[in-house]
Amino acid sequence: MTDDLERQLRDRLQHAQLPSAPDRLHARVVQAAVTSPAQRRTSFRGRWLLLPIAALLVIALGAGLLAVGGRPSQLSVTARSGDFRLTLSSAKPVYAMGEQIDVSASVEYTGPDDYAQVSAEQSGLVYFSVQQLDGSFSIPGGGSLLLRCSTQTLFKGSPFTQPLGQALSYPGHLLSTGTYRITATASFGSTDCYKPIDLGTSLVIRVGRSAASPSPTRADVQPSVALQVNPGPCGDPTNAVWASGGGLTVAQSGDVVLVALVVPMVDVTEVFPWSDVTSSDATVLRPIPMCAGVPSVFSLPVRYSAFEAVAPGTAWLSAPLSPDWQPPAPAASGTDLGPIRFEVDVTASATPAPTPTPTPTPKFVTPGPTPWPSNACGGFHLKVVNEETASITVTINDSYTETVDGGTSQTIVEWLPPNKPLMPWTVVVTGAAGTQIGSAYMTGPVDQKIIVSGGQMEYGPYDIRTEGCD
Amino acid sequence: MMGAVTIGGSAWEGVQSAGMLESEAFARQLELQLDRAYRLAGLILGNATEAEDVVGDALERAWARRAQLHDPDRLQAWLDRIVVNACRDRIRRRARVRMLQLDATADPVGDPDAFGALFSRDELLRLVASLPVDERAVVVLHYWADLTLEDVAGRLGWRTGTVKSRLHRALEELRALMAPTDRREPQ
């Protein structure tokens, strides 16, 4: 059987009609030959696995939404990284059924110069994704990559704007009744199509049932709760399953269960509607601290809680309504907000903790059989702190990963939900002259921090819960 | 001058210290490996657009690290390793962002994805594409590139035992995936 399968594999793979490399790749080799190595190396910074969301500074959170009883006229959420700003706007928070969704994203240069040249793929600087929060509709984000690298000039004060409809080309730019999270992502480089800059932000819009009266009602907008097992960096609930309460979630011992409570649009007030989420049985599901600095990438108020599945059993996660909360206006129709209650069944872990692989010195010892992930942020994090004045280079498993400038730090994250990160890592740090400063062997799951100072390298556990996910 | 440069031995070393000539010679040797690198990435990723992107990444990595290639005879193995690592990076990235070829969406009658079409035609290759990326890489390097397990281990930076276990696991998974079909269609 095995021989037959192996023969088939060899036969099919070796006789497959495989295409040749496109001319574009040949052109890139030529291009590389005439570009200075220093410039190209710089272009790799932050390319490997970054924390784009963690690096964001959300400076506007659904402007106007927090006004009690007021009808916001426009949603606008902005993320900033360095000298660039990504603004995602919707003409209004609520659309009527059949009405064109007027959402756009703009990238703006805000640095000290008159302009900046940025490079990105032919399809543009901005990608969108749409996810229905109360249904299954979804348009995945993405864009054509490196089909053609083009350079654009961003003049200060003249943002590049990309409408949602133009970017996605979905039929009629229409959405059916529901609540949708729209995410805009901008990825571009300052010298070529590699992307040292990643920006992303989201807003929530609502499409009402009535074309005549787009005002939302409680029947239209149900409370949103997300429970997610083993979330991504900093609790990004991208893959969460959204529901209005009462659901059943299954987790395994060692999993981290993230709870996100999102306030429905019509119930937004200055007071968060729910009290803290509690577990009915801390021996089954125990509360753990969220990592500091969880970004609020929603245009609606959201509150996160995290729990660790400790042992097999059943526990309820519940959040009563806050006694301080009052509905912003008389209920138009439908039901009022109510307490949240979710059942979580915890089963025994099916996957044993990874066993360390013997490696060359210096051997990095990870204490204890800590289950994956070891933190509420998900994945494995390596923070590199460079206290030298010159830059250092980080190589992981012989693959160039990051350049960390003097006096700065970078966090490299590996996140592969639902799978565990690909470990181990052999991390080598070299100085500007190319000399090796030190190396470390990391098996996870405990996050690690490397500190380079005085020509020496030290490393040890990194407590992301107190230091944050960035 | 450039045409006289060969990958092996002294000719390569002769241009290593010659500034631009070094770049040109290295570029020439990289070009000779392009088809193989592209096919390797395509077989691992199952998508031509991503394969192109990944090989582009790999070229950049190779270029940035070319000083580390002390033995020009090992260029292919060295580049294989970079390509596989770039594929693994891409798979990780897939977990966060799904890439959608917008041009293909807008023009469904355009050029089909050669790797995607290949995988859609061949059930066995489609099953290979469903394996975890590390197992996929081992299968492709062993059965397509016809490398010994020791050579695969050298390219991936793993121990031979690790390669053996991953190949064993891959074959077991493929067998399990094929089992229902086998039962429906007895030989």
Distance, CA of B54 to CA of A398 (rounded, Å)? 17
Residue B19 is predicted with a pLDDT of 34
Which DSSP category does A91 fall into?
S
pTM attached to this predicted model: 0.35
**Cis peptide preceding A362, ω within 30 of 0:** yes
**Nearest of A286, A284, A296, A447 to residue A375 by alpha carbon:** A447
Task: Give A251-290 pLDDT, tens digit per residue.
Answer: 777 777 777 676 766 666 667 888 888 999 999 988 876 6
Interface test with A, best of B36, B39, B97 (most A CBs within 10 A): B97
A-chain CB neighbours of B103 within 8 Å are 122-123, 144, 147
Q: Which two tokens stand for residue A391?
A: 């830059």
- Grade residue B117 by pLDDT with cuts at 50, 70 and 90: confident
Class of residue A99 by CB neighbours under 10 A (exposed 0-12, middle 13-18, buried 19+): middle
Of the candidate ranges A184-188, A323-327, A356-360, A452-456, the one whose mean pLDDT is the lowest: A356-360
Chain B CA closest to residue A415: B92
**Phi/psi of residue A105, nearest 5 degrees:** -130, 145
Q: Is A183 helix (H, G, I), strand (E, B) or coil?
A: strand
* Cβ–Cβ gap B81/A398 under 8 Å: yes
- Grade residue B186 by pLDDT with cuts at 50, 70 and 90: very low
Residue B48 is predicted with a pLDDT of 85
B-chain CB neighbours of A34 within 8 Å are 23
Interface test with B, best of A5, A10, A18, A42 (most B CBs within 10 A): A18
Closest residue to B174, CB basis, from A5, A122, A167: A5
A-chain CB neighbours of B108 within 8 Å are none
Closest residue to A40, CB basis, from B42, B64, B99: B64
Q: List, in sequence order, every residue forming a beta bridge with A463; answer none if it has no partner.
A: none
Distance, CA of B137 to CA of B159 (rounded, Å)? 15
Residue A174 is predicted with a pLDDT of 59
Of the candidate ranges A11-20, A86-95, A192-201, B78-87, the one whose mean pLDDT is the lowest: A192-201
* Cβ–Cβ gap A29/B171 under 8 Å: no
Distance, CA of B25 to CA of A32 (rounded, Å)? 12
CA distance B51 to chain A (A): 9
* Cβ–Cβ gap B39/A32 under 8 Å: no
Closest residue to B56, CB basis, from A19, A146, A357: A146
Q: At residue A95, what is the residue type?
A: Y
β-pairing, A126-132 with A197-208?
unpaired
B-chain CB neighbours of A419 within 8 Å are 132
* Cβ–Cβ gap B93/A417 under 8 Å: no
* Cβ–Cβ gap A422/B99 under 8 Å: no
Distance, CA of A381 to CA of A393 (rounded, Å)? 17
Helix B48-64 vs helix B20-45: crossing angle, to nearest 10: 150
Closest residue to A169, CB basis, from B56, B95, B106: B106
Of the candidate ranges A176-190, A193-207, A270-284, the one whose mean pLDDT is the lowest: A193-207
Distance of CA A453 to the CA centre of its chain: 31
User: Looking at per-residue confidence, does A369 or A19 come out higher?
Assistant: A19
Residues A230-254 have a mean pLDDT of: 49
Residue A187 is predicted with a pLDDT of 74
Chain B CA closest to residue A426: B157
Torsion of CA B133, B136, B137, B138, to 10 degrees: 130
* Cβ–Cβ gap A29/B118 under 8 Å: no
Whether the Cβ atoms of residue A195 and residue A189 lie closer than 8 Å to each other: yes
* Cβ–Cβ gap B49/A33 under 8 Å: no
- Grade residue B168 by pLDDT with cuts at 50, 70 and 90: very high
Q: Which two tokens stand for residue A394?
A: 């980080």
Which DSSP category does A211 fall into?
S
- Is B27 a residue whose pLDDT tops 50? yes
Class of residue A379 by CB neighbours under 10 A (exposed 0-12, middle 13-18, buried 19+): buried
Q: Which residues contact A303 (CB under 8 A, 6 or more apart)?
A: A260, A261, A272, A274
* Cβ–Cβ gap B96/A415 under 8 Å: yes
Class of residue A426 by CB neighbours under 10 A (exposed 0-12, middle 13-18, buried 19+): middle
Q: Which residues of A67-85 are buried (b: 16+ CB within 10 A; e: fewer)?
A: eeeeebeebbbbbbbebbb
Torsion of CA B91, B93, B98, B103, to 10 degrees: -90
- Grade residue A367 by pLDDT with cuts at 50, 70 and 90: very low
CA distance A11 to chain B (A): 8
Distance of CA B118 to the CA centre of its chain: 16
Whether the Cβ atoms of residue B47 and residue B55 lie closer than 8 Å to each other: no
* Cβ–Cβ gap A49/B23 under 8 Å: no
**Nearest of A392, A376, A411 to residue A456 by alpha carbon:** A392
Torsion of CA A300, A303, A308, A309, to 10 degrees: -60
Q: Which residues contact A143 (CB under 8 A, 6 or more apart)?
A: A121, A123, A124, A127, B99, B100, B102
What does chain B look like in DSSP terms, one character per residue? -GGG--SSHHHHHHHHTSTHHHHHHHHHHHHHHHHHHHHHHHHHH--HHHHHHHHHHHHHHHHHTGGG---GGGHHHHHHHHHHHHHHHHHHHHHH-----HHHHH-TTSPPPHHHHHHHH-HHHHHHHTS-HHHHHHHIIIIIS---HHHHHHHHT--HHHHHHHHHHHHHHHHHHHHHHHHHS--
Chain A CA closest to residue B143: A10
Class of residue A170 by CB neighbours under 10 A (exposed 0-12, middle 13-18, buried 19+): middle
- Grade residue B143 by pLDDT with cuts at 50, 70 and 90: very high
B-chain CB neighbours of A12 within 8 Å are 122, 124-125
Interface test with B, best of A121, A187, A198, A399 (most B CBs within 10 A): A399
CA distance B75 to chain A (A): 15
- pLDDT more than 70, % of chain A: 53
* Cβ–Cβ gap B34/A10 under 8 Å: no
β-pairing, A380-386 with A448-453?
parallel
Closest residue to A12, CB basis, from B105, B125, B134: B125
Q: At residue A27, what is the residue type?
A: A
* Cβ–Cβ gap B144/A13 under 8 Å: yes
Q: Between A and B, how many residue pairs show a Cβ–Cβ distance under 8 A?
A: 172
Whether the Cβ atoms of residue A53 and residue A469 lie closer than 8 Å to each other: no
* Cβ–Cβ gap B175/A232 under 8 Å: no
Whole-number CA gyration radius for chain A: 24
Distance, CA of A410 to CA of A404 (rounded, Å)? 6
Q: Is A30 helix (H, G, I), strand (E, B) or coil?
A: helix
Question: If you count them, how many residues does chain B have?
Answer: 187
Torsion of CA A128, A133, A137, A140, to 10 degrees: 30
Closest residue to A140, CB basis, from B26, B98, B134: B98
- Is A8 a residue whose pLDDT tops 50? yes
Residue A170 is predicted with a pLDDT of 44
User: Looking at per-residue confidence, does A20 or B95 come out higher?
Assistant: A20
- Grade residue A328 by pLDDT with cuts at 50, 70 and 90: low
Interface test with B, best of A145, A148, A381 (most B CBs within 10 A): A145
